[in-house]
Structure 1
Amino acid sequence: MPGHFGQKILKHLGLNEDGNNNNNNPGYPGQQQQQQQQQEPMGPRMAGDRLVNNDERSLSNKPGGTYPRLCRMHDGSILASFTRFRDGKRFLMVSRSVDGARTFEDIGEVTSGKGDVDNTYLLEVAPNVVLAAFRNHDLGPGGPTHYRITVCRSQDGGRSWHFASQGAEKKPPLGIWEPFMRLGQQGEVQMTYSQEFAHNNQCTMLVCSRDQGASWSAPQCLHGQDHCVRDGMNGIAATVDRGRPALVMIFETTTHGTFDLEALLSYDDGRTWGYRHQVYVPPRGHNAGAPQIASFGDGSLAVIFMTDEDCRQVQWTKNACIKVVFGSPPQDGRVFWTRPTTLCPGTGHWPGIMALDGQTLLGTYECGGPKAKSITLR
């Protein structure tokens, strides 16, 4: 593992109020000295330093894999999920770390198939009981013939898996994908996913389960059913707004034609959402998408995403690197976001993020396999 030097950023930040920050100042591989990213003093300042550490590690003890996501277990261990391609099939893999996410070893396989299986998301719902939600589409000569968000369950900490239910399913031509799960305040599993309503209209949907994924409520559109943009790839993090519990949802969308990042807030545990605002808009003609979000112990936020803004040739999603922006805790429904800082300057895809503790987040991404770097608050 590389040394624990880092890239110093965001010290006592001044944050741009509108979120439309186009500062392209990536780090460089092997850069050992710390750098402080310059910020305009245009908003409240967050206390502390946020450091993107040069401590990349693999999420598997075997080669290959993409779309990595993490899941914290009750015993302190950490599961990772990712998709591996081999012999014309896709394998939804699970690995485990027992040393604080420093090393991982493959322990299980959720499923495999020649269809369109991908987008695995893990959630522990009881000690050693883990749900895996993933897209699971039948394919024909002309494309998908049936869309599903399938849920499997493990009762041994991710080693063996069995079918639990279909969280959502529908017929073509309009699809569903990209599930995300969290536990609500009443112990229910809340699963959000993306659904197309038209070629130019995609929204975030919600279904809930009160029986550990065996059955699900009817789908509910959370925002924007009549808004002709493609909201997708959502993630949700818990925070506080002046002591009031709040959730922040991050997602990609097409307000400006290409992809940018926007957010919503909820003050009723995810039942209703509002306060929509921009998080990051890349330079015109470029994309910022595939975001995920996590919170530090002080309620401040980190959004990891992929972007092609540093690439001369726009080939979304082929050309991309991984960056992160930080946000203040909400203040009366408003979040102040920084400019982006590079986490993986090389070609990187499909990032995720999870809090290891109150001062440490782990950002994941594909870069020659499922990888991760830590981000610390000091």
Structure 2
Amino acid sequence: MPDFGHKILNKLGLHDHHDQQQQQQQPPQQQYYPPQQQYPGQQHYDQQQYGQYDQQQYGQYNQQQYNQQQYQYNQQQYGQQQQQQQPMGYPGHGHPRPNSHVHHDERSLTSQQGGTYPRLARLSDGSLLSSFTRFPGDGQRALVVARSTDGHRFEDIGEVTRGTGDTDNLFLLEVAPSVVLGAFRNHDHDPSGRPTHFRITVCRSHDGGHTWQFASQAAEKSGGDGLGVWEPFMRMGAGGEVQLTYSQEMAHNNQCTMLVTSTDQGSTWSAPQCLHGRDDNRRDGMNGIARTRDGGRDALVMVFETNTQGPMQIEGLISYDDGRSWGHRHVVYSPRDGHRHNAGAPQIASFADGSLAVVFMTDEDHQEVNWTKNACIKAVFAPPPVNGQIQWDPSATTICGESSHWPGVFGLDGHTVLATYECRGPKARAISLQ
């Protein structure tokens, strides 16, 4: 395989250093149709149009080959390459506070113009995929995938879907070599703009993101109550299963993080489980998860936006059982004058020593409260947790001071993460430990 990982670090100017010492626009109001294949909006279309397809084309592979081969791949080969999810070699206690450096190396994640809600994923050959939502005109949306072999120049290679429905929040995850899942929100509206159906749809690519086919609905519900599902995030569990988390509104003043899992590369999903926030009056949403260590224990840290105090701040949770249960809720970042301003849309990644980086958007630098127009991108850092406690930076580091939105963060290697965001298109900037 080409050593794209080394090419990426060399292009970023980071390789030698490391050897010696990273809501959206108003939605259109119609059903959407992906390229070369129609995704009907009817509530029971899975069973009617795609049930036979899934069982005939994927059933035997999922039950026989996947269960015997894919788990071993996930636990051994894949886990080593997804360093942002399984960093190695953490020290125990007494961690120094991470000393980070933001590089002035902003680059585009597309070869074309425009795009929002950017995210990154790594393939097993070392190349990177970017994903984002583009608005090509005529009320359409396209969920676009681009690829890079050097971490600097991205070429658009495919579209997961294109149409006039409310599709957004695309998140990619490679589950086997060149087999990539794409999860996204997929909502229908009637002509007046009222929601009629909510979904988290999953598509699958067998060629590294060039072409896509429908796989499943990870979650769906009627839109009659106006309470939707949003913002999927995916990671590989310790047992080789795909863990997909998303936000679900339980009431207009209550939103919680849900979990579904798949053992057949996204063809079927478990019943949803609420991880936190079912019975309180907080709107927890836009979660992200990173793997770290707390002493001798594996740990996951989840971050999300919420309204515990003021309009919006960032809080976190810790799991010691691979995401099955969560506790140690705490504040990650509150904006200055938190009773007026906002800090939201967080994502998290870890470095090789277990240190953590949370990238988010905030309007705290503007006197006028105009969310999300006046938002910019910032980050806070912390050493690994110690006995369930995380000491986050009291002040934030600016990543992009211009009007910028919908950030993500991706672990490029053990010393560098890439912060992604929209600023006149999908962009990225490197953050490294010193």
Alignment map for 1:51-62 (pairs within 5 Å): 51-62=101-112
State whether structure 2 residue 391 is matched by structure 1 residue 340.
no
Whether the 8 Å CA contact 2:179–2:207 is kept in 1: the answer is: yes
1:248 maps to 301
Aligned residues, how many? 339
1:367 maps to 423
Which residue type is aligned with residue 316 of structure 1?
W
The change in CA–CA distance for 1:47 and 1:289 in structure 2 (over 3 A counts) is closer
Whether the 8 Å CA contact 1:279–1:337 is kept in 2: the answer is: yes
Separation of aligned partners in 1, 2:275 and 2:12: 44
State whether structure 2 residue 268 is matched by structure 1 residue 215.
yes
2:89 maps to none
1:318 maps to 373
Q: CA deviation at 1:144?
A: 1.2
State whether structure 2 residue 118 is matched by structure 1 residue 64.
no
1:165 maps to 216
SS at 1:335 equivalent: coil
1:272 maps to 325
State whether structure 2 residue 202 is matched by structure 1 residue 151.
yes
Q: CA deviation at 1:256?
A: 1.2
State whether structure 2 residue 171 is matched by structure 1 residue 121.
yes
1:233 maps to 286
Which residue type is aligned with residue 157 of structure 1?
G
SS at 2:153 equivalent: coil
Moved more, 47-56 or 295-304: 47-56
Q: CA deviation at 1:45?
A: 6.0
Whether the 8 Å CA contact 1:320–1:347 is kept in 2: the answer is: yes
Q: CA deviation at 1:4?
A: 7.3
State whether structure 2 residue 189 is matched by structure 1 residue 139.
yes
For structure 1, the residue ranges without an aligned partner over 5 or more in a row are 6-43
Q: CA deviation at 1:257?
A: 3.0
TM-score using structure 2 length: 0.76
The change in CA–CA distance for 1:3 and 1:198 in structure 2 (over 3 A counts) is closer
Alignment map for 1:27-66 (pairs within 5 Å): 46=96, 49-66=99-116
Q: CA deviation at 1:243?
A: 2.2
The change in CA–CA distance for 1:117 and 1:330 in structure 2 (over 3 A counts) is same
Whether the 8 Å CA contact 1:174–1:197 is kept in 2: the answer is: yes
Which residue type is aligned with residue 368 of structure 2?
Q
State whether structure 2 residue 413 is matched by structure 1 residue 357.
yes
Q: CA deviation at 1:3?
A: 10
2:55 maps to none
Whether the 8 Å CA contact 1:84–1:91 is kept in 2: the answer is: yes
2:140 maps to 89
1:38 maps to none
For structure 2, the residue ranges without an aligned partner over 5 or more in a row are 1-10, 15-93
Q: Please list the CA deviations of residues 60-112 of structure 1 after superposition, one character each: whole Å capped at 9, or x if unmatched.
A: 0111000000001111000000000012100000000101x111110010001
Larger strand share, 1 or 2? 1
State whether structure 2 residue 168 is matched by structure 1 residue 112.
no
SS at 1:357 equivalent: coil
Separation of aligned partners in 2, 1:152 and 1:227: 33
1:75 maps to 125
Separation of aligned partners in 1, 2:163 and 2:98: 46
Separation of aligned partners in 1, 2:304 and 2:259: 14
TM-score using structure 1 length: 0.88
Q: Please list the CA deviations of residues 129-185 of structure 1 after superposition, one character each: whole Å capped at 9, or x if unmatched.
A: 000000000111142110000000000000000000000000122110100000000
Question: What is the root-mean-square deviation of aligned Cα atoms in Å?
Answer: 1.6
